[in-house]
Amino acid sequence: MNPPRRRRSRELCLLVSLLFLILFNYPLVSPFNRTTPVWGIPLGIFYLLGGWLLFIGIIFLIVRKLGGEGA
């Protein structure tokens, strides 16, 4: 059986993954489908790359805090 911290880490990672899957779904991405640049990057690309980096950072923090003691 998994230790409680490792199980909680898995549950939080699954929850965050589902939330980001919703954020990258069509109805929420469509308002950003414009060529308006943000620091020279089109708004849609900025949204996707920014969200992707945020997702990686959150998962990293969850794994480091709750399940960082080993595999």
Q: How confident is the model at residue 6 (pLDDT cuts 50, 70, 90)?
A: confident
What tens digit of pLDDT does each residue of 7-55 get? 777 888 889 989 999 988 888 888 888 888 888 889 888 899 999 999 9
- Token look-up 């950072």 returns 57
pLDDT of residue 1: 45
The pLDDT score that the predictor gives to residue 64 is 84
Domain map (residue ranges) of the chain: 4-67
Cβ-contact 29, 42 below 8 angstroms: no
CA 65 and chain centroid, separation: 16
Bridging pattern class, strands 41-42 and 37-38: antiparallel
Neighbours of 48 (CB within 10 A): 15
User: What's the rounded Cα separation, in Å, for the pair 23 and 29?
Assistant: 7
